[in-house]
Chains A and B, each alone.
Chain A
Amino acid sequence: MSTQQSIKIENLVKEFGKGDSLLRVIDGASFTVNKGELIALIAPSGAGKTTLLMMIGCVIDPTSGTIWLGEEKVYEDKWITHNSRKIRREKIGFIFQAHYLIPFLNVIENVTLVPQTNGVSEKQAKADAMKLLEYLDIADKAHSKPSALSGGQNQRVAIARALANNPQIILADEPTAALDSARALSVVQMLKKIATEQNVAIIMVTHDERMVQRCDKIMKIENKKIIFEAVEIPS
């Protein structure tokens, strides 16, 4: 695998059910995502976008195929790693449509939870988290609970949490769907900046054409296959 490649997928298949009710959602997907790339994943509802993200994120089991994350082959017809949660904790950041922050932790605790679990000292984790919160312009809310923040602020905290473990990959499942246009654009610009500056591969599921235009490539799921397209910037 090339050192520039962050995600490499080969002949990935995902089936649900058995016998007559067997449903193949992803049929032999093969693609690579390079470091620093922001990829827009678009497909109709039910086409398997979230399923694909969750397989890359080691959350659900593929039926067959191969998954490389960075230098490490994590799946080849079965999980090679015994601790998929450790891979998620160390290599992947997740952002969702809703922020899904832990309500009983404040902002900085939400952001430092994963690094501290990875063995980073509380002091170091907090210092790193404050830098991230400043980077995302939300440092003044470090000690607030998620319930005291607006939707946009919570989504920025969720991005900070996704970045806190210095991930190689960020998987974002419709991160702008719950935001107004201005805030959605701001989040995508932020993701683009993160991808470029921190050399992180980002796959972002979106339905919004305006957001797609900020991405480097478009990945479509059509007829259960993966198709890459160049981004067309409207004149």
Chain B
Amino acid sequence: MIHLAQKDISHTFGKFIVTAMGVGMLLGIVLIMIGVYRGLIVDATNLLDDVNADIWVVQENTLGPFAESSRIHEDLKNTLKAIEGIDKAEAITFQNIQLYTNSKPIRVEAVGFDPFGDIDPINPLHLIKGRTLNRAHYEVVVSAETGLNLHDHIDIGRDSYTIVGITQKTVSSGGDPLIYMSLKDAQQLQFSYSNATIRNDRDRGAVSNPDLHIVNAIIGTIKTGYNNNIISDNIARWKHLSVYTNNEQKEILTKNVVEKSSKQIGLFTIILVIVSTIIIGLIIYTMTLEKIKEISIMKLIGIPDGVIIKMIVQETVLLGFFAFIFGNIFSHLTYDKFPKRVILEAPDALTLFGVILIASVIASFVGVAKVVHADPTVAIGG
């Protein structure tokens, strides 16, 4: 039997391909939106995974530094180290700052940690150039996403820092590139006042005596054989602190922090899929209208509706298929140009392919309805 859809498509191949490319770009955006969502989740948990702590100890009644402001004393790490079951404990700070390099501002999140401590939040797998911190002051490791280079000097606050290492794909839950600095530098940056402020305070009779030994969280690891939850409950009960296991922190991040963004992206993706379906439907309707005379002739010479409907449905599915191919090409060519992480995964693409196939069949109904109602006498101008 003659493959009518194939014949019709090859008759107007250029037009068909351009149409498929147009719809494909729309599907490419859908794939990128899904990729943005995946990137959001990975970014959100990136730092947590790199730190790889078992527990996060934060200010009482707060959710921790990723969701709320948290301030606790640095020496609590020593208290924690004395608790049975705790293997390692270190203080850590987080602070959003803006760097100015070549007059271009870069928003980053600074992670402060003790370079001589037991826990290094810099994942060696992500360190692509240089080394981790091994001095107490004026060294930073920066994410490659900042655009800064090894051995560059940058001014942060009142001091100049040397870049001693470059990491890759290390961003905060908000997608800002990370820079790592010593805990002392981070505390100085976050809690000390400028000279002018100190002078002003003195003139006003106020005493500027900032406590520089404040941190945002204490992270700890648990010895083998001890239960994370029991230790967490004990610390929270007796030390008046909030304690979260790594999984709880992850849940806070993914549910409380990125949930709204995820829902927003999810809704946007659904709308885009619906819009794509409507557009495919409109294209098929127009393509069917353009062929209405040929369809009428076929009906007139006795070709059954089934044969004509098969042609319309096959054309729609082929349009969806080619659009999906172009969408994949488009998304893979552009995903790394986006400022935030976009992760394209094969299962997402396959799911979208299934959705588009179903959407194409639904979209073909408008063309099929036109075929069913086409009057054979239209062919002869009747």
Binding site for B on A (CB under 8 A): 50, 54, 59-60, 85-90, 92, 94, 96-97, 100-105, 109, 112-114, 116-117, 122, 145, 161, 165, 173
Contacts and interface: CB of A to CB of B under 8 A. Distances in A.
Interface in B4-38: 4, 7-8, 10-12
B301 A116 contact: no
B302 A89 contact: yes
B377 interface: yes
Given A102-B298, A105-B7, A114 B303 contact: yes
A165 B301 CA distance: 10
A50 B7 CA distance: 31
B3 to A, nearest CB: 10
For the residues of B in contact with A, the DSSP-based class is helix
B99 interface: no
Nearest to B1: A116
A103 B294 contact: yes
B196 interface: no
Nearest to A161: B301
Contacts of B2: 105, 109, 112-113, 116, 122
Contacts of A87: 302
A96 B7 contact: no
B380 interface: yes
B307 interface: yes
Given A103-B11, A122-B1, A117 B303 contact: yes
B302 A54 contact: no
Residue from B10, B294, B297, B302 with most neighbouring chain A CB atoms (10 Å): B302
A105 B298 CA distance: 12
B382 A54 contact: yes
B302 A114 contact: yes
Given A122-B1, A173-B380, A102 B294 contact: yes
Given A105-B4, A117-B303, A117-B304, 11 more contacts: A59-B300, A88-B300, A88-B302, A90-B302, A94-B300, A96-B380, A100-B300, A102-B297, A104-B294, A109-B2, A117-B302
Contact of B7 (A90, A101, A104): A104
Nearest to B297: A100
B7 A109 contact: yes
Interface in B76-134: none
A152 B382 CA distance: 23
Contacts of B4: 104-105
A116 B304 CA distance: 12
Interface in B294-318: 294, 297-304, 307
B376 interface: yes
Nearest to B311: A104
B379 interface: yes
Contacts of A92: 302
15 contacts: A96-B379, A96-B380, A100-B293, A100-B297, A100-B300, A100-B379, A100-B380, A102-B297, A103-B11, A105-B4, A109-B7, A113-B303, A114-B303, A116-B2, A165-B302
A88 B301 contact: yes
Nearest to B8: A104
B10 to A, nearest CB: 8
Interface in B260-298: 293-294, 297-298
A85 B1 contact: no
A30 B299 CA distance: 27
Contact of B380 (A50, A101, A104, A145): A50
A85 B302 contact: yes
A111 B120 CA distance: 78
A85 B379 CA distance: 15
Contacts of B307: 117
Interface in B316-352: none
Interface pairs A-B: 6 shortest CB-CB: A89-B302, A104-B11, A88-B302, A104-B8, A85-B302, A100-B297
Contacts of B302: 85-90, 92, 114, 117, 165
A86 B302 CA distance: 6
Nearest to A147: B11
Residue from A87, A97, A103 with most neighbouring chain B CB atoms (10 Å): A103
Contact of B299 (A85, A97, A103, A104): A85
A163 B70 CA distance: 89
A145 B8 CA distance: 12
B247 to A, nearest CB: 60
Contacts of A117: 1, 302-304, 307
Nearest to B10: A104
B335 to A, nearest CB: 37
